[in-house]
Chain A
């Protein structure tokens, strides 16, 4: 079972920031937060990951709360091409065997509207 909780859907106006929340209240100290997205009928695409510090790359920013029980993925200027299902995943580091496998929940369907 996925160890994260996300809203099933969200809307965002084109050009505005999209803020996607994720709850991971049972996260362990050795687990990272990962975000992937899946555009309709395509394979998922990695976006970003982090442990406890905020992270930013060319696609998005990841804000993790100080207690690490929740995080927010921020797309600063959403475009129509950002319409996708966004998956928040927690995953162990320094793992062995299957502990490092990605477990995908149902994600949040983000619809960017003109």
Chain B
């Protein structure tokens, strides 16, 4: 089945540790996105990539890093520089403009930093 997967569903880390969240898609989408969601809030864009080996900062990129070495994969690293990393992280993908009317979202990773 085609889709977008994120792993793990729940992740716990100690403060000061870097952690990498996985996002994989087999939809043949060119564009991929990372969002963060805090309780009771909407989604905020962290990073996005419209093509392999290229990515751009979103609205809240500080303390995060990404790579896009393969079309199917867009991992997000939450670094120790991120002051408040506990949140729900969502990955999405879409076709490139102008066919990007729909973003497909993964199930999310809930990160808790202790």
Contact = CB atoms under 8 A, between A and B. Distances in A.
Instruction: Name which of A2, A44, A104 has the most chain B CB atoms within 10 A of its CB.
Output: A44
B43 A44 contact: yes
A98 B56 contact: yes
Contact of B92 (A43, A95, A103, A105): A43
Q: Which of A43, A95, A102 has the most CB of B within 10 A?
A: A43
Main secondary structure of the interface of A (DSSP, over half): loop
A101 B90 contact: no
Interface string B86-108: 00101010000110111111111
The 7 closest A-B pairs by CB, nearest first: A43-B105, A104-B42, A104-B43, A46-B102, A105-B42, A44-B105, A43-B90
A2 B90 contact: no
Interface of A: 2, 34, 41-46, 49, 87, 93-95, 97-98, 100-107
B75 interface: no
A103 to B, nearest CB: 8
Contacts of A104: 35, 42-44
A40 to B, nearest CB: 11
Nearest to B56: A98
Interface residues of B, number: 26
23 contacts: A2-B42, A41-B110, A42-B108, A43-B90, A43-B92, A43-B105, A44-B43, A44-B92, A44-B103, A46-B101, A46-B103, A87-B42, A94-B98, A97-B56, A98-B48, A98-B56, A98-B58, A101-B33, A101-B48, A102-B43, A104-B43, A104-B44, A106-B42
A34 B43 CA distance: 15
A114 B46 CA distance: 38
B19 interface: no
B52 interface: no
B67 to A, nearest CB: 20
Given A42-B105, A42-B107, A104-B44, 11 more contacts: A2-B42, A43-B92, A43-B107, A45-B105, A87-B42, A93-B98, A97-B56, A102-B45, A104-B35, A105-B42, A106-B41
